[in-house]
Amino acid sequence: MIAVGGVLAYHAYQLPDVSDLAIQSRDGALALENRDGLLMASFGPLHGRPIQVADMSPYLPAALIATEDRRFRFHFGLDPIGIARATVTNLRAGRVVQGGSTITQQLAKNVFLTADRSFGRKIQELLLSFWLEHKFTKDEILTIYLNRVYFGAGAYGVEAAAQKYFGTSASRVSLSEAALLVGLLKAPSRYNPAVNPDLAGKRTAEVLGNLVEVGDLTQAQARAAALAPITLAGAAGTGSGRRYFADWIHEQVPGYVGRRAEDLSVRTTFDPGLQALAEAAVAKGIAEGRAKGAHQAALVALDPATGAVRAMVGGASYGGSQFNRAVQARRQPGSTFKPVVFLAALEAGWSPGDTISDAPIRIDGWAPENYDHLNQGNITLLQALARSRNAATVRLQEMVGRGRVRALAHDLGIASNLTQGPSLALGVSELSPLELAALYAAFANGGHTVVPHGITTISDAAGRVIYQRQGSGFGAGVSARATAMLNQMLSETVRHGTGQAARLDRPVAGKTGTTQNFRDAWFAGYTADLVTVVWVGDDRGRPMDDITGGGLPADIWQHFMQAAHVGLPKRSLPGVDGDQLARVQ
């Protein structure tokens, strides 16, 4: 007895500190929420906020007890009957098919102890189990267990798991969802429904069967739950395309709150519905354009009033390339830059009906040609922009002044360096799709500069807000009158010009862009509700086969925007009312 007591005392002395059952020290995790507050992505291990058993869906503790420890309510941390039953079962099978450890033992082992199989660790497990049973009620043990155990996909705790897999709280999971979560505990990676849906389904059915065996369900209820489709609505079940947006946000967080070891929660501007539509539109476009050399594409959509980014596609496949072409790639925007030239002219007193010559022009030995190699004589500014005439645009820039064009571009949010030469008018200065989208937002909102952003709030683990976004931009960058006239002109570009493929059932304005040798093709356009920029091309800058901005990019844009506006009322753009061009005095 003295020897046994000495062994127990020795191992008791070696026990870890169990005075604080809060989450132990670890690297901080970053949880990203969409605009509605639902988890969309995470970086590092995700630990859910503690939730009491009484506040959970009742199916969760019931499924856990039925599957892991049916005598949980009656034993004292160790279940001799369960151990005997498991021993007999394993001897009959000739291998280990059933464990005899209780939920309390699993809690002691998984939370406080290492995974080694030594005799000393087993003694410590028993001592901790007895202590837990003495210190806490059964419901408190279940609460601690379910808030600490690992459910796969980086999720620790049932609340994090419910958010990660189903985009909901653990208090609201259904019977089949609860069975799936409990089934994950046996082998989280193996039964991950996003990776192995068939195995996850079979394991869920096993858990439901356990509930039938203990009398918590009828056969009919279990059968109905097993047949009920489980929709993965959380971050673990969404497409990888959202990772472009998530990576963009992840890189920005330290700039707002510094580097922290604690968990952080970031509320973003991300709209999962629009993201799904954007990914579908880009996938369809790439499938159609790949044969013509269009191997990559990017799409960014933002709110013109605030600059909040709602959707972002950074490439044809995140799995194939994590390079975000919507943010990191800088390409020549081509004719999508031309509206800045015309807006500068409108600010200087020109009007859409004024004429400009489209005759050949030569400046310091440089002679830009029109796409069709033809010149149309005197045409109106409206016609020059709608038909994307190069000669007329360069001539207008030289009359207005390059300095004025560059200054206006910077006033509207373009931070990139712009060329000093006459080719400025034709969009030779490289921009990102995100930067171009912010520029077009100023057209859509009546001349106000916006800052494209994806973060609204950042909170710590206790829910305290440590960053709150204030404001949306830098105010008016150009007059409302000039912007209204530009909207008339860009609306005509879609109605009767190079952007006809982008027409919608509501007021819309936009501009096509195609760079030399078809290396880049763009469509940038907007309604009163959404600004979207689409780029199509090849990472190596290889020419495409006659793909212009008015072709594939406009098709992708129209496919996305048409779906994005379903159910939204038709709203006027500044200067454009309904299907008619308003006259601005």
Q: For helices 338-347 and 390-400, what crossing angle results, to 10°?
A: 40
**Which amino acid is located at 39 in the chain?**
L
Choosing from 335, 432, 459, 472, which is the catalytic residue? 335
Q: What angle do CA 215, 217, 219 make, to 5 degrees?
A: 105
Reading the block at residue 9, the tokens are 């005392």
Q: For helices 175-184 and 197-213, what crossing angle results, to 10°?
A: 110
Q: What angle do CA 179, 185, 187 make, to 5 degrees?
A: 115
Question: By C-alpha distance, which of 171, 183, 182 is closest to 145?
Answer: 182
Q: What angle do CA 8, 14, 16 make, to 5 degrees?
A: 125
Distance from C-alpha of 244 to C-alpha of 317, rounded to nearest angstrom: 10
- Active-site residue 174, yes or no? no
Q: Tell the residue number behind the tokens 């909170």, with chain if given.
A: 459
For strands 264-268 and 30-33, give the pairing: parallel
Choosing from 33, 57, 68, 491, which is the catalytic residue? 68
Widest CA span in the chain: 110
- Active-site residue 335, yes or no? yes
Question: By C-alpha distance, which of 101, 54, 68 is closest to 214?
Answer: 68
Cβ-count burial of 130 within 10 angstroms (0-12 exposed, 13-18 middle, 19+ buried)? middle
Distance from C-alpha of 133 to C-alpha of 146, rounded to nearest angstrom: 16
User: What CA–CA distances, in Å, run from 138 to 151, 173, 210, 356?
Assistant: 21, 22, 20, 84
**Residues 6+ away with beta carbon under 8 Å from 343:** 408, 443, 478, 482, 483, 486
In DSSP notation, 103-127 reads HHHHHIIIIIS-S---HHHHHHHHH
244 close to 318: Cβ distance less than 8 angstroms = yes
Active site residues per annotation: 68, 335
